[in-house]
Amino acid sequence: MASSRPDGSRKTKAGDAAAAKNKQLEAFSQGTDNLLTTNQGVVLPDNHNSLKAGVRGPTLLEDFILREKITHFDHERIPERVVHARGAAAHGYFELTKPLVEYTKADFLQEVGGRTPVFVRFSTVAGSRGSADTVRDVRGFSVKFYTREGNYDLVGNNIPVFFIQDAMKFPDLVHALKPEPHHEMPQASSAHDTFWDFVSLMPETSHMLMWVMSDRAIPRSYRMMEGFGVHTFRLVNARGVSHFVKFHWKPKLGKHGLAWDEAQKIAGKDPDFHRRDLWEAIDRGDFPEWELALQIVSEDKAESLGFDLLDPTKLIPEELVPVTVVGKLVLNRNPDNFFSETEQVAFHPGHVVPGIDFTNDPLLQGRLFSYTDTQLSRLGGPNFHELPINRGVCPFHNFQRDGMHRMQINKGRVSYEPNTLATGSEFRVDGGQQGFQSHPEALESPKIRRRSPSFDDHFSQATLFWNSQSPAEKEHIIAAYQFELSKVEVPAIRQRVVDNLAHVDIKLARKVAEPLGIGPPDAKAAAGQSGFRESRAKPLIEAAPSLSMEGAVNGIQTRRVAVLIAPGVELGAFKVIQQALLDAGAVTKVIASHLGVVASSSGQQVPVDHTFANMPSVMFDAVLVPGGAASAQALMRHGDARHFLLEAYKHCKPLCIIGEAIELLQSAGLAQADAPPPAGVIIGTNEPTTRLQMAQDFIAAIARHRHWGRALVDEVPA
Ligand code: HDE
């Protein structure tokens, strides 16, 4: 299994490497087509009945088959992750497109076209394992690269900054965020007193709060969100020269969010929404893809950025230091077993390879301790690196021995170094040629338990983020603050939050405060709190368009389009538009009041995929309603069908309404015969000459994702 190649070398060909992990996992995999046996291999005589003293008598202690089965069942659960408990993962590969020899000696970043197998886990942070996917939260984005020099883990988030600056505050942050300890409510939500109490007393959270209140915290899909390494890391080249680096993952499908009302409804209708979306996309062959992009900063340049690169509450705007794309990440295989792979995978920011190193970011430094420690209780001992999903694909050996669940059988009498008793190359200590060399950063300071004054600016990047948002995005942020704070029972906490917000933007703070039954924001009161710092750097730029999600148009691949039909539906335009959608890579589903088939106006049988009730509008990105008088009338009479369309309208989704189906919008006062259609609504007829144009307009509307500026949205009942 594990380790040595016969020639003692650590290298395999790039092609081998991509397949190496799957091959290794295969050795541990098992199908289900065998005779049932006990764990000892004894074939079961019967899997329905325990051994009893007579058919109506008590069960015998002797029944080793029953005992083994029940005992194993009793111990099936392990502790869930203390944060990021809920997740979904997939296998794939990373391919380098730009060599990084100049910056790093990391083997997997040298050769263009070189592929490295990866396992990637996405997660929410606050909720338990069984919580809903679409809650307002940060998303984890963890990538394990099985490189030829050892495993490298990039354990990031979908938000490029963090709440706090020092690891010392992490347990407090998480205790405040998690359900309150006396009654364990609310589940997977920051909208409660303890969270806002804590963050309102910690102004360093201001920047990240802006992100968490934005649509970044309710992504449409894991496949449509960015990833970030968050901390500043180092790349170190073969000459020992170090550069600072920020890691970014850029999704091929663009970055897109949900509507808040929609996110909450999905949490009930399909709590597995993101997990399912990832699984189904990979299953269909629509492999999710991201570009790896780097911001590389020389040690000299770091001084001139206007903030401290070691402060994890700060980002480097792409407008100041552009991102360079260096590779792509493709997820092309679903796990075979959720527990063995997704649950048992153990990430650690301290899993680095030669050529990648840490900085003194005090949050990162704390993480370097935490991740191994947590696996000890989660995975039950120090040998979790031997679990199939965690094994490296390169050789590994050392004199660490024994412990719970040891799988490796180490041969020979020697388990120490130096020694004279072992023979063979496997016991050599590398003389410094291949080994990991920590960057020899000079450190000459006294020990001190204090925050660097260069971390004191808590607001300027929160303001930068706010200034970089589109009008619709700003509305969403205001609404999110209002929603969250309306759930906070203690008015003084609500007040403290808006007082702090006054330091981000006074108009934002005033707007947020309006419906909260508190006084106007008071910037001076916030400044009087302990922990508040006056220092505010002058921003090098006023706004950074890269921080906005709006405006990105990335095609419509894998977008889900619902087609609402009833008996008498006209197929002409519908078929043309459906084909155009499919050609553009979208997924279409026919929805009706019942499963089976629906007869069209010309008597054709149209297969139905889902019902209005079992696949509601929140499961789709766009809606197409074909024409046909009888079909439109039937849909009008069906409450669920009308609700479907109106809800999609409310969530600003692209709609394409053909012929008589317009009645569904007109009867709700959402379209007028003589007025231009609302934003993102394509209205057409069955007239053959207009069908292609209609299809193109609809596709363009879907590519824009949502039409937030749409009229009358607030008047549609939720
Ligand atoms: Fe984590 N974090 N974290 N974190 N984190 C964990 O490790 C921790 C932080 C992140 O898919 C835990 O195996 C500390 C920042 C992800 O399995 C734990 C601090 C970032 C995941 C832990 C942080 C992250 C975790 C829980 C502050 C973004 C999920 C289970 C000093 C860069 C990994 C586990 C997966 C998981 C500790 C801060 C991302 C307890 C102490 C910043 C994506 O070790």
Q: What are the tens digits of pLDDT across the range 164-208?
A: 999 999 999 999 999 999 999 999 999 999 999 999 999 999 999
Residue 81 assigned ligand-binding role: yes
Q: For residue 83, report the distance from its CA to the centre of ligand 1, in Å.
A: 7
> CB atoms < 10 A from the CB of 7, how many?
8
- Residue with the smallest CA separation from ligand 1 atom 32 is 156
Q: What pLDDT band is residue 18 in, cutting at 50, 70 and 90?
A: confident
- Residues touching ligand 1 (Cβ under 6 Å) are 81-84, 87, 121, 123, 140, 142, 155-157, 162, 167, 170, 230, 312, 346-347, 363, 366-367, 370-371, 374
- Residue with the smallest CA separation from ligand 1 atom 29 is 84
Q: For residue 316, report the distance from its CA to the centre of ligand 1, in Å.
A: 22
The confidence score (pLDDT) of residue 31 equals 83
Mean pLDDT within 50-65: 98
The confidence score (pLDDT) of residue 16 equals 58
Q: Which atom of ligand 1 is nearest to the CA of 364?
A: 31
Does 79 have pLDDT greater than 70? Answer: yes
Interior CA angle at 94 toward 92 and 95, to 5°?
Answer: 130
User: How many angstroms separate the CA atoms of 537 and 529, rounded?
Assistant: 20
Catalytic residue among 157, 334, 500, 686: 157
User: How many angstroms separate the CA atoms of 681 and 477, rounded?
Assistant: 25
| Substitution candidate for ligand 1 out of 121, 155, 230, 314 with most atoms within 8 A of CB | 155
Q: What are the residues facing 118 on neighbouring strands? A: 92, 145
Residue 494 assigned ligand-binding role: no
Percent of the chain residues topping a pLDDT of 70: 96
Kind of pairing, strands 622-625 and 560-564? parallel
Domain segments of the chain as ranges:
87-187+219-386, 560-715
Name the superfamily (CATH) of residues 560-715: Class I glutamine amidotransferase (GATase) domain (3.40.50.880)
The confidence score (pLDDT) of residue 3 equals 37
Q: What are the residues facing 292 on neighbouring strands? A: 249, 327
Q: What are the tens digits of pLDDT across the range 507-534?
A: 999 999 999 999 999 999 999 988 888 7
Q: For residue 47, report the distance from its CA to the centre of ligand 1, in Å.
A: 42
Catalytic residue among 39, 49, 75, 84: 84
Tokens 């405060």 locate to: 513
* Residue type at 473 in one-letter notation: E
CA-wise closest residue to 489 among 259, 171, 186, 212? 186
Q: What are the residues facing 291 on neighbouring strands? A: 250, 328
Residue 555 in tokens? 């095609």
Is 84 annotated in the active site? yes
For residue 257, the SS3 value is: strand
Q: What pLDDT band is residue 33 in, cutting at 50, 70 and 90?
A: confident
- Residue with the smallest CA separation from ligand 1 atom 18 is 371
* Dihedral, 28, 124, 235, 232 alpha carbons, nearest 10: -160
CA-wise closest residue to 310 among 121, 443, 175? 443
- Pick the range with the lowest mean pLDDT from 46-50, 98-102, 174-178, 302-306: 302-306
Percent of the chain residues topping a pLDDT of 90: 90
The confidence score (pLDDT) of residue 673 equals 83
| Substitution candidate for ligand 1 out of 78, 370, 375, 377 with most atoms within 8 A of CB | 370
Interior CA angle at 589 toward 583 and 595, to 5°?
Answer: 145
| Substitution candidate for ligand 1 out of 314, 347, 359 with most atoms within 8 A of CB | 347
Does 32 have pLDDT greater than 80? Answer: no
Residue 704 assigned ligand-binding role: no
Q: What pLDDT band is residue 424 in, cutting at 50, 70 and 90?
A: low
Mean pLDDT within 385-391: 98
Q: For residue 174, report the distance from its CA to the centre of ligand 1, in Å.
A: 11
Q: What are the tens digits of pLDDT across the range 60-71?
A: 999 999 999 999
Q: For residue 82, report the distance from its CA to the centre of ligand 1, in Å.
A: 9
* Residue type at 269 in one-letter notation: K
- Residue with the smallest CA separation from ligand 1 atom 6 is 83
Residue 494 in tokens? 């609500």
Does 598 have pLDDT greater than 70? Answer: yes
The confidence score (pLDDT) of residue 7 equals 41
Contact 190, 137 (CB under 8 A): yes
For domain 87-187+219-386, give the CATH number.
2.40.180.10
Give the DSSP per-residue string, 540-606: S-S--GGG--TT-----TT-EEEEE--TTB--HHHHHHHHHHHHTT-EEEEEESSSEEEEBTTSPEE
Q: Which atom of ligand 1 is nearest to the CA of 312?
A: 42
The phi, psi pair for 117, rounded to 5°, reads -65, 145
Does 426 have pLDDT greater than 90? Answer: no
The per-residue b/e assignment along 436-456, b for 16 or more CB within 10 angstroms, e otherwise, is eeeeeeeeeeeeeeeeeeebb
Q: What pLDDT band is residue 538 in, cutting at 50, 70 and 90?
A: confident
pTM of the model: 0.96
Q: What are the tens digits of pLDDT across the range 111-161?
A: 999 999 999 999 999 999 999 999 999 999 999 999 999 999 999 999 999
- Residue with the smallest CA separation from ligand 1 atom 9 is 367
User: How many angstroms separate the CA atoms of 256 and 134, rounded?
Assistant: 13
The confidence score (pLDDT) of residue 398 equals 92
Q: How far is CA 713 from CA 67, 259, 413, 418, 657, in A?
A: 60, 12, 75, 74, 17
Averaged pLDDT of the chain: 95
Give the DSSP per-residue string, 401-434: ---TT------SS--SSS-SS--SGGGPPP-SSS
Q: Which atom of ligand 1 is nearest to the CA of 171?
A: 41
Mean pLDDT within 680-707: 96
Does 2 have pLDDT greater than 80? Answer: no
Residue 264 in tokens? 């909450």
Q: For residue 219, report the distance from its CA to the centre of ligand 1, in Å.
A: 20
- Residue with the smallest CA separation from ligand 1 atom 25 is 84
Q: For residue 133, report the distance from its CA to the centre of ligand 1, in Å.
A: 18
Does 432 have pLDDT greater than 80? Answer: no
CA-wise closest residue to 227 among 207, 246, 250, 253? 250
Residue 371 assigned ligand-binding role: yes
CA-wise closest residue to 189 among 87, 263, 78, 80? 263
Residue 275 assigned ligand-binding role: no
Q: What are the tens digits of pLDDT across the range 551-595?
A: 777 899 999 999 999 999 999 999 999 999 999 999 999 999 999
The phi, psi pair for 607, rounded to 5°, reads -65, 140
Q: For residue 428, report the distance from its CA to the centre of ligand 1, in Å.
A: 34
- Residue with the smallest CA separation from ligand 1 atom 44 is 371
Q: Which atom of ligand 1 is nearest to the CA of 140?
A: 43
User: How many angstroms separate the CA atoms of 231 and 464, rounded?
Assistant: 19
ipTM surpasses cut 0.90: yes
Is 34 annotated in the active site? no
Q: What pLDDT band is residue 1 in, cutting at 50, 70 and 90?
A: very low
Q: What are the tens digits of pLDDT across the range 236-294?
A: 999 999 999 999 999 999 999 999 999 999 999 999 999 999 999 999 999 999 999 99
> CB atoms < 10 A from the CB of 9, how many?
12
Widest CA span in the chain: 94
Q: What are the residues facing 180 on neighbouring strands? A: 185
Q: For residue 347, report the distance from its CA to the centre of ligand 1, in Å.
A: 8
| Substitution candidate for ligand 1 out of 351, 367, 372 with most atoms within 8 A of CB | 367
Q: What pLDDT band is residue 9 in, cutting at 50, 70 and 90?
A: very low
User: How many angstroms separate the CA atoms of 291 and 302, rounded?
Assistant: 24
Give the DSSP per-residue string, 328-390: EEEEEE--S-IIIIIIT----TT---TTEE----HHHHHHHHHHHHHHHHHTTSTTGGGSGGG
The confidence score (pLDDT) of residue 138 equals 98
Mean pLDDT within 660-677: 93
- DSSP symbol at 219: B
Cβ neighbors of 138 (< 8 A, separation 6 or more) are: 124, 125, 157, 158, 159, 212, 217
The confidence score (pLDDT) of residue 6 equals 40
Q: Which atom of ligand 1 is nearest to the CA of 369?
A: 41
